[in-house]
């Protein structure tokens, strides 16, 4: 694929990310690429007028061959939402934190882009989840997530009660602080902190990870990705929320049902041809140290 039109989405609050954006934009323009940057980022990064096109982040992916994400995994997830309707691949540049999704280092940014422009890259398909909230026969929320959807209590220090089923087969009832339903991509995010397993991103699977369950034998499980998880709020309670990829929230009510299944929309992520998932895990999690 000829990468002629390239968009850049940047972490606004990181001065290093802004500097990397300016450097990458100028480098790409020198190579006769059309570069598009988010409006306020172009100004904050001091990119000269006329050097790049400027758009809102919502419109930036339109017509692009690639979107480069400069920041951390949070910035990457926000970019994934921006491209979910236009099927543009993402390349993540990590600005120094853990970064499972933004796995290209800042120091190797230009070398990685050189390889991309030369066609030396591998495309990885990442599954998303489709999420619906059903309330009194209506559907007040329909969305997609890349990492996870979390059903959890709000600010009050009390447990919530819910039932979980897969394809209308009852799995368990739980009293807990909540439940994480995650993709393999999300297995190294909140689900990992809650004691869930690490799942290879190529697997078609869904993780169900209870958060601080009252019954200690209520353990995380991995279920087939072709199934539909149904979480039903079963008891009276206040201050319960649905959190989507850690970036958006939706208040829940008694009797709400949350349906989670694999989305037909995947996310394409670009990697170096020699990238090794297990090497990434060893380096990020410091195995063997």
For residues 43-66, give the mean pLDDT. 86
Do residue 218 and residue 242 come from a single domain?
yes
pLDDT band at 154 (very low <50, low <70, confident <90, very high): confident
Tokens coding 178: 């909540």
Q: How many helices (DSSP H) and strands (DSSP E) are in the chain?
A: 6, 20
Say if residue 214 is in the same domain as residue 271.
no
Domain that holds residue 256: 129-262
Q: C-alpha 7: how far from its chain's center?
A: 18
* pLDDT score for 156: 67
Q: How confident is the model at residue 98 (pLDDT cuts 50, 70, 90)?
A: confident
Confidence grade of residue 5 (pLDDT, cut at 50, 70, 90): very high
Q: How many domains does the chain have?
A: 2
Q: Which two tokens stand for residue 50?
A: 């006329």
Of the pLDDT bands very low, low, confident and very high (cuts 50, 70, 90), residue 134 is very high
Q: What is the pTM of this model?
A: 0.93
Residues of the chain with pLDDT > 90, as a percent, come to 76
Q: How confident is the model at residue 284 (pLDDT cuts 50, 70, 90)?
A: confident
10 and 105 together in one domain: yes
According to the model, what pLDDT value does residue 67 have?
97
From residue 250, alpha-carbon distances to 38, 149, 203, 242, 244 in Å are: 27, 11, 29, 5, 8
Answer whether residue 155 shows pLDDT above 90. Answer: no
pLDDT band at 42 (very low <50, low <70, confident <90, very high): confident
- Tell whether 12 and 54 lie within a shared domain: yes
Residue 101 and residue 148 in one domain:
no
pLDDT score for 122: 94
Please determine, for residue 239, whether its predicted confidence score (pLDDT) is greater than 90. Answer: no
Question: Active-site residue among 14, 65, 73, 107?
Answer: 73
Active site residue 73: yes
Reported as half-sphere exposure (CB side, CA atoms, 13 A), residue 183 has a value of 23
| 144 and 255 together in one domain | yes
Quick one: pLDDT band at residue 145, thresholds 50, 70, 90?
Answer: very high
Q: Are both 118 and 165 inside the same structural domain? A: no
Burial class (CB in 10 A: 0-12, 13-18, 19+), 193: exposed
| pLDDT confidence tier of residue 172, bands split at 50, 70 and 90 | very high
- pLDDT value of residue 49: 65
Q: Are residues 112 and 166 in the same domain?
A: no
Average pLDDT over residues 31-38: 94
- Residue 97: pLDDT over 90: no
- State the Cα angle at 13 between 11 and 14, rounded to 5°: 75
Residues 144 and 258 in one domain: yes
Q: Are residues 158 and 258 in the same domain?
A: yes
R_g over Cα of the chain:
20
Strands 257-262 and 228-233: antiparallel
- pLDDT of 157 strictly over 70: no
Q: b vs e for 10-21, b when ≥16 Cβ sit within 10 Å of the residue's Cβ?
A: bbeebeebbebb
> What does the pLDDT read at residue 252?
93
Mean pLDDT of the chain: 92
DSSP per residue, 59-112: TTTTT-SEEEEEE-HHHHHHHHHHHTTTT--EEEEE-SS--SSS-EESTTHHHH
Q: Give the residue-averaged pLDDT of 147-165.
A: 88
Burial class (CB in 10 A: 0-12, 13-18, 19+), 212: middle
CATH number for the domain spanning 177: value is 2.60.200.30
Q: Determine the Cα–Cα distance for residues 168 and 230; give it in Å rounded to an integer.
A: 8
Instruction: For the beta carbon of residue 68, count every other beta carbon within 10 angstroms.
Output: 27
């Amino acid at each position: 694929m000829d990468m002629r039109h390239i968009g850049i989405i940047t972490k606004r609050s990181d001065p290093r990310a802004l500097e990397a954006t300016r450097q990458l934009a100028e480098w790409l323009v020198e190579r006769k690429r059309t570069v598009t940057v988010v409006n306020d980022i172009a100004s904050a990064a001091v990119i000269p007028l006329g050097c790049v096109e400027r758009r809102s982040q919502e419109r930036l992916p339109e017509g692009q061959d690639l979107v480069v994400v400069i920041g951390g995994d949070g910035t990457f997830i926000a970019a994934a939402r921006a491209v979910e309707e236009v099927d543009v691949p993402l390349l993540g540049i990590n600005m120094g934190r853990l970064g499972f999704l933004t796995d290209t280092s800042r120091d190797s940014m230009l070398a990685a882009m050189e390889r991309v422009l030369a066609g030396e890259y591998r495309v990885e398909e990442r599954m998303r989840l489709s999420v619906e909230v059903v309330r009194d026969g209506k559907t007040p929320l329909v969305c997609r997530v890349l990492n996870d959807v979390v059903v959890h209590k709000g600010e009050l220090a009390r447990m919530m009660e819910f039932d979980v089923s897969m394809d209308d087969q009852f799995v368990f009832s739980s009293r807990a602080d909540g439940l994480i339903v995650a993709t393999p991509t999300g297995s190294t995010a909140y689900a990992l902190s809650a004691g869930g397993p690490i799942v290879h991103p190529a697997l078609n699977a869904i993780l169900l990870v209870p958060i601080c369950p009252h019954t200690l034998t209520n353990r995380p499980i991995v279920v087939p990705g072709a199934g539909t998880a149904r979480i039903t709020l079963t008891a009276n309670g206040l201050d319960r929320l649905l959190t989507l990829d850690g970036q958006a929230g939706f208040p829940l009510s008694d009797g709400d049902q949350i349906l989670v299944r694999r989305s037909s929309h995947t996310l394409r992520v670009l990697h170096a041809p020699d990238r090794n998932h297990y090497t990434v895990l060893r380096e990020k999690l410091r195995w063997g140290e």
